[in-house]
Amino acid sequence: MTKYPQDEFDQVPETSDRQGVHRATLAAPKAGGLGLIILAAGLALAVGVLSFFVLPLLGAGGPASPAVSAGPAAAAATSAAPEAEPAAQSASAEPVEEPAETDAGKPETKSAEPTEAAAPDTPEVPAGADKSDPVLVLNGTAVAGLGSDVSATVSANGWQVAGVDNWTGSTLASSVIFYNPGQQANAEELSALLNIGDVRQTGPGEISDGLTVVLGPGFQS
């Protein structure tokens, strides 16, 4: 028996003139030819790798780098850029002071000269005032203790208080300060301190030897 299955060529008529029918044997590929193909492919791959990685490093080919192809103009522009940047930074670092806006929407101008603080509203001491001149405080109102409160204010201002008592004279419409001749400056200073506008001169020793403050209706300490 053969190793091939039977087909139409195996059925040969007995009377046929055909003789010696054989099936051609296929020639196997030679091993030497396949090895040459593999070797050629390996060489081609090695040449490609060499030209891709090694030749650019040696400067033998490949695209030129941007720094080389750009030329001197690009190098000059690159070197000039860092010099311009510090100037821009220094210009932007300086703060710009904007004028403050007032309620009316207009810029408020600031004066370079400092404004002086307003002096407290204190009464001016007349020239020649002598606080060692004794002061007598008399209460001519129905407010108990008002004379003591006023005497404490006068004493705290540096005056010498001679005493505190009630007014026994005629009823006054308002508070009055009586003074003897030569005591007008002292009377005006007490008038400014106690806010008493009625200042009157009397005869020497008519009421007291010094200044006399009579508290009348409506006085507020």
**pLDDT tens per residue, range 158-195:** 999 999 999 998 888 999 999 999 999 999 999 999 99
Q: Is residue 126 part of a domain?
A: no
Q: How many CB atoms lie within 10 A of CB 133?
A: 21
Domain housing 201: 135-215
Q: Is residue 63 part of a domain?
A: no
145 vs 140: CA distance, rounded Å = 11
Q: Is residue 164 part of a domain?
A: yes
Q: Is residue 101 part of a domain?
A: no
Q: Is residue 173 part of a domain?
A: yes
When comparing pLDDT for 15 and 216, which is higher?
A: 216
Angstrom CA distances, 94 to 33, 91, 107, 112, 214, stand at 82, 6, 21, 21, 69
H helices present in 12-65, as ranges: 31-58
State yes or no: pLDDT of 112 exceeds 60: no
Cα end-to-end distance, the chain, whole Å: 153
Q: Is residue 166 part of a domain?
A: yes
H helices present in the chain, as ranges: 31-58, 66-93, 146-156, 184-194
Q: How many CB atoms lie within 10 A of CB 174?
A: 14
pTM, rounded to two decimals: 0.43
Number of domains in the chain: 1
Element (H, E) at 130: none
71 vs 133: CA distance, rounded Å = 103
Q: Is residue 57 part of a domain?
A: no
Mean pLDDT lowest for which of 41-55, 57-71, 92-106, 205-219?
A: 57-71
CATH number at residue 141: 3.30.70.2390
Q: Is residue 59 part of a domain?
A: no
Where b means 16+ CB within 10 Å and e means fewer, 17-37 reads eeeeeeeeeeeeeeeeeeeee
